[in-house]
Amino acid sequence: MRFAIFLLLVFSIIIFMDNYQDNIENEGLIYLNKSIEVSINSCYGTEGKYPSNLEYLIDNYGLVINENKYIVYYETFGSNIRPNIKVIKRD
């Protein structure tokens, strides 16, 4: 009986840790996405145009991207049209 309870406890901890790790990874994606949005808005508010590329935000607005963890797709259509961004986690 005690062994069964012990196994149930160990199994529960493993499931909890797996879910916890997934939540942390999702929060990282959300945080980076919001950081890019804030940088885009700051650029547009300050300069009156959207940045032409991600490097401009990194160099001029302090955006930091962990390129070992995330891939950011940044697509522009012109200086007066908001760029499309997509952040995905690297495998």
Q: What are the DSSP E strand ranges found in the chain?
A: 70-75, 84-89
pTM of the model: 0.76
| Other C-beta atoms lying within 10 Å of the C-beta of residue 73 | 11
Structure tokens at 28: 């990282």
* CA–CA gap between residue 40 and residue 51 (Å, rounded): 7
- At 23-36, the pLDDT tens digits run 677 888 999 999 99
Asked if pLDDT for residue 20 goes beyond 70, the answer is no
Phi-psi region of 62 (alpha: psi -120 to 50; beta: other; left: phi over 0): left
pLDDT of the residue at 75 = 96
